Amino acid sequence: MNNLSRKLISGSVIACGLFLLQSCNKNEQAPQMPPMELPVSRVEQGKGLVSKEYPASIEGVTDVEIRPQVSGYLHKVYVDEGAYVRAGQPLFQIDSRMYAEQYNTAKAGVSVARANLANLKIDLDRRKELVKESIVSNIQIQQAQAAYDGAKASLAQAEAAVQSARINLEFCTIKAPVSGYLSRINYRLGSLISPSGVEPITVLSDSHEVNVYFSMSEKDFLTFQNSQIGSTIQEKIQKAPMVGLQIADGHLYEEKGKIDAVEGQFNSNTGSVTFRAKFNNPKSIIRGGNTGKIVIDQNYDNVTLIPIASTSNIQDKVYIFTLDKDNKAVQKAIEISGKSGTNYMVSSGIKAGESYIVSGFERLQPGMPVVPKPTGQQANKTQAKAVAGKS
């Protein structure tokens, strides 16, 4: 066998092998993924509870600036910054020596005025006796009476001066006008203080109750108005439900508050209106100057609810997987009107009664077949029907 024959036979064998390989590839089919078995539930309607939060500032019901009513050097400080004091408790002492001397001088002036009045009374009585004997004239009696009346007025003036000096002396001891907590003390021992000073000595906050101020946008204000009962805003406020207060550590304050006032007009710069809510503070947990968030709960009836965990976010849109009539996955965009606990309140995109995939859809693609697996109440209903059928 020559070389040419060998080459022809070898080529024929290779061609036959390629033909057989191509025939085998055409007969084989690509393996298909089995349908995914995923938990499926039905969209339900129910009651929704939405909590709105508003940044708030807290003030004591009474924040009193403690200022001196007389001038002098700060002689004593009886309390410390941040201390709780009761109404009438001494706080500060101004050097009172000058005012004590003024008080003593005023009391001496009263003694002089009384003595002068007594002398003039004696002179008036004597002249009244002499006029009966025609020794003095009526004019002299009138002069003596005028002098006596003037002395009475001088005594009253001296007594008023004593009262004024006594009040100034008492003002040297500065007392707490209300019960509450002291803030920072702006002066120290030896400081010269006066009623015309720019800064108060300190501020006393009566915080057995606190006022919490927060602002609502125009949209939220209109929603608040429409959701309350009453013909006027005051009636709506009186009938509004209690509100909560989230304090700085993130916890809800144990007491509920009541909205009791709202400003008469919107702030043109911020486009918001300010509300005031009052909270009891029996344990003095919160103080004036604290910050927090007002929490207002609003109830909605017959809203479409979807678990947040059953949705996915893609480019600021919320999607959910549903099933078509052939149990194939369909991805739908839904519109959210708010959150109620662990659920979304849906305004459009899906309706009550439609089926949706609860979980396990991370690798699911639209159009893929799904084997529905009932969950929750639906699974219980299916089992109950099966048991009833066997019986």
Per-position pLDDT tens, the chain of length 391:
555 445 434 544 444 444 444 544 444 444 556 788 889 988 888 888 778 889 999 988 888 899 999 999 999 999 999 898 999 999 999 999 999 999 999 999 999 999 999 999 888 888 787 877 777 777 888 888 899 899 999 999 999 999 999 999 999 999 999 888 898 999 999 999 999 989 999 999 888 889 999 999 988 888 888 777 777 877 888 888 889 999 988 889 999 999 988 888 898 888 899 999 999 988 888 887 888 999 988 777 788 888 999 898 888 899 999 988 888 889 989 988 778 888 888 888 888 888 899 988 888 888 888 888 877 555 444 443 433 344 4
Express each pLDDT in 254-297 by its tens digit: 999 999 888 888 988 888 999 999 999 888 888 878 889 999 88
Helix-, strand-, coil-residue percentages of the chain, each rounded to 5 = 35, 35, 30
Using alpha carbons only, how large is the chain's radius of gyration in Å? Answer: 46
H/E element, 168: helix 138-171
**Residue 142 half-sphere exposure, CB side, CA atoms within 13 Å?**
3
Residues 6+ apart with CB under 8 A from 375: 39, 40, 41, 358
Distance CA 240, CA 262 (A): 12
Type of residue at 176: A
Full set of structural domains in the chain with CATH: 34-62+208-378 (2.40.30.170), 68-94+174-199 (2.40.50.100), 97-171 (1.10.287.470)
Query: Buried (b) or exposed (e) across 275-310, using 16+ Cβ within 10 A?
Result: bbbebebeeeebbbebebbbbbebebeebbbbeeeb
Phi and psi angles of residue 173, each rounded to the nearest 5 degrees, phi first: -100, 110
Question: How many angstroms separate the Cα of 58 from the Cα of each of 55, 205, 207, 251, 271?
Answer: 10, 11, 10, 16, 21
| pLDDT score at 363 | 85
| pLDDT score at 13 | 44
Partner residues linked to 299 by β-bridges: 49
| pLDDT score at 238 | 80
CB-CB contact of 72 with 172 (8 Å): yes
Distance CA 293, CA 251 (A): 10
| SS3 state at 152 | helix
Pairing type for strands 202-217 and 291-307 reads unpaired
What number of other Cβ atoms are within 10 A of residue 325's Cβ? 5
